[in-house]
Structure 1
Amino acid sequence: MSAFSRLWYRAPLWRLCLYLIVPFVALTFVFPPAYLTRRLPRMAQIATAIHHRLGMQDTPADADQAGGGNPGDGVVTMMPMTDRLTKAIPFAGRILPLPAGVWHPIINVIEGPHGEVLENVLVRVQGHIVTGLIVASGTTQPVSAAANPAMDMECHDDRNYMSHIGASHPPVTECWLTRLVDPASISHMNVIASRLKEEGIVLPPVLLRANWINTTPAADDSLNAETVTIYLNPVNANETKILRSPDFWTKEALAQQPAANDFVKRMNTWMAGWAPVLHDGFNSDMLASSEEQRARLSLDPAAPRPGEANPLD
């Protein structure tokens, strides 16, 4: 009898530990800890595939209620924030152009009865301060045209700083708008804030929102849709850093706050140039503009200044 055989029969606790290795390894792939997914991004992808196969969610059912989302409608996947994304990324079978700077993924959400809607949340950081958030939502297959009126409603809201309607004859809609937003109202904000806090990253007290909404008709009274919402930090520059209350940024208060008014004007001008780039990405036609044009148009007024450290680098 070999030494291994003798140990096998004489050490039941050791034998039990060997048995437990298999289920614990399996559980590690189903519920990988955050430090492993940061070091091994492939592990997060494997966990996501397992969750999709088993019909599981990655977050508790109440994790997102205060953020305005409904996590019961989809699968929420935490992403490794060490990924560095620039220029453009594939998104919902199309292309999502990114504003200037380095963006990091926070979460992915798959929603709808058959996973028809994909949502990506990305963050941009300067120092330890958020300079931008992107929440992009797009259909991966046509959805009912009944969803169009709700998407179109904000284009006509009189609280917008500015809005531009390029097409509005249902089910076709294309518009963009800018406005002040309460950070607590951002979709999935509970999850976003928790992830940022883990990394020592601070959300600003004020965020301005630039929205681009686009829907195109498909067969059988359905449509393809994409909404790109870009949240910019307006209080990270010397001229606006004292304007840390949302009251300074309301549409009515801008006339009394020249620095805030200037930032909003620059955001409006930027979004007017960036919306056509988003339109090209929706059509997967990035040849409609040159790389030099896209680089110039991508410079939003909250873009990080050169030489500033990024804690996620």
Structure 2
Amino acid sequence: MIVPFVVLTFVFPPGYLTRRLPRMAQIATAIHNRLGMQDTPADADQAGGPGDGVVTIMPVTDRLTKAIPFAGRILPLPAGVWHPLVNIAAGPHGEVLENVLVRVQGHIVTGMIIASGTTQPVPAAANPAIDEECHDDRNYMAHIVTSHPPMMECWLTRLIDPAAIDHMSIIATQLKQEDFVLPPVLLRAKWVNSTPAPDDNINGETVTVYLNPVNLNDTKILRSPDFWTKETLAQQPAASDFVKRMNTWMAGWAPVLHDGFNSDMLASSEEQRARLSTDPAAPRPGEGNPLD
């Protein structure tokens, strides 16, 4: 694992390293140019505003499966082939890395991942409500694994308005360029974890998986978010079944994400991870990917 992590450090150097070693930033820029990647300033049109950080547009033709290195750790991936879309270096000094990945069937998005992780410890005071969503009564389900600040871990599932997704202006632009279509309904499965670091700092990671629930035969007519609210699920058996399967999937997938955060993928077997990775929106065998 040392070699890929070293390579990623040069491709996506954290802010504190580029400040101490300016030559590293030049090397990273040269690599980006060589790979056809585009470094976009935060105030560019597709960046969506000054709060987005430093945006790097990724080659969407890359095919990612099983797991990838991420923020000095390991990010397990749900079933299917995932394509990188955007990388973002955020935080006051670029110490928070965000990766956006997309999974498609035909040209329809079946899943999207936004993973956010610290590349160095950050002040705990800057993240006072990191687990706030885990206590929201609009969640379909939420589970608190650990709640002893600054150590905290939880996961949740809920309906989400696609327009409310972080960095949506950047994401929408890139999806449009690739002719990928977002569904009118997205459900969110989110895992949040933080661990203490010296000097009242924390290391943290958030992995949010957005699933398309209306790409299946029994749910394709339920194309309004009104069918998927927590209050109306009882009147929509097909939607209720999808949500139950998503809850069951996330209950099994969250421990795999925890292992990845600790870079301990030996805690489960490859067969277990393959079985647990199959979310209810995952493409079935034989279903086409436009990038194949």
TM-score range, shorter chain: 0.7 to 0.9
Question: 1:205 maps to which residue?
Answer: 184
Once the 2 structures are TM-superposed, how far is the Cα of residue 151 of structure 1 from its aligned partner?
A: 1.0
Name the SS for the 1:306 alignment partner: coil
TM-score, normalization by structure 2? 0.86
Q: Deviations over 1:229-269 (max 9, x none)?
A: 00000000000000000000000000000000000000000
Aligned-pair distance for 1:62? 7.0
Alignment pair present for 1:136 and 2:112:
no
Q: Equivalent residue for 1:147?
A: 126
> How far does residue 148 in structure 1 lie from its aligned partner after superposition?
3.5
Matched residues, number = 265
CA distance in 2 between counterparts of 1:257 and 1:121 reads: 31
SS in 2 for 1:115: coil
Residue aligning to 1:101: 80
Is the aligned partner of 1:250 residue 2:243?
A: no
Contact 1:138–1:225 (8 Å) recurs in 2? yes
**Is the Cα contact below 8 Å between 1:206 and 1:233 reproduced in 2?**
yes
Amino acid at match of 2:51: N
Structure 1 segment 51-130 matched on structure 2, within 5 A: 57=41, 60=44, 63-65=47-49, 70-71=51-52, 74-130=53-109
Aligned partners of 1:81 and 1:59: how far apart in 2?
23
1:296 and 2:255 are equivalent in the alignment: no
Q: TM-score, normalised by structure 1?
A: 0.81
- Which of residues 137, 150, 171 is equivalent to 1:171? 150
Per-residue deviation at 1:194?
A: 1.3
User: 2:172 maps to which residue?
Assistant: 193
Give the secondary structure class of the aligned counterpart of 2:249: helix
- 1:164-200 alpha-carbon deviations (Å, 9 max, x no partner): 0000111111000000000001111111111111111
Partner Cα distance (2:136, 2:222) in 1: 24
Question: In 2, distance between residues paired with 1:82 and 1:164?
Answer: 36
Superposed CA offset, 1:80-120 (max 9, x none): 00000000000000000000000000000001222110000
CA distance in 2, matches of 1:273, 1:181: 21
Aligned alpha-carbon RMSD (Å): 2.0
CA distance in 2: counterparts of 1:30 and 1:213, whole angstroms: 31
Question: Is the helix fraction higher in 1 or 2?
Answer: 1
User: CA contact under 8 A between 1:210 and 1:231: conserved in structure 2?
Assistant: yes
Report runs of 4+ in structure 1 exceeding 3 Å deviation: 29-32
2:115–2:207 Cα contact (<8 Å) kept? yes
Match of 1:220 in 2: 199
Q: 1:82 to 1:58 in 2, by over 3 A?
A: farther
Residues 1:76 and 1:63: Cα distance change in structure 2 (over 3 Å): closer
Find the aligned partners of 1:82 and 1:206 in 2 and give their Cα distance: 25
Larger Rg: 1
8 Å CA contact 2:116–2:207 kept in 1: the answer is: yes
Secondary structure at 1:294's aligned position in 2? helix
**1:149 to partner: Cα distance:** 2.6
Q: Give 1:24's aligned residue.
A: none
Contact 1:58 1:78 in 2 (8 A): no
The corresponding residue for 2:13 is none
CA contact (8 A) 2:46 2:170 kept: no
Aligned partners of 1:142 and 1:61: how far apart in 2?
Answer: 31
Letter in 2 for 1:220: D
State the identity %: 75
The residue type equivalent to 1:252 in the other structure is E
Which runs of 5 or more residues in structure 2 are unaligned?
1-27
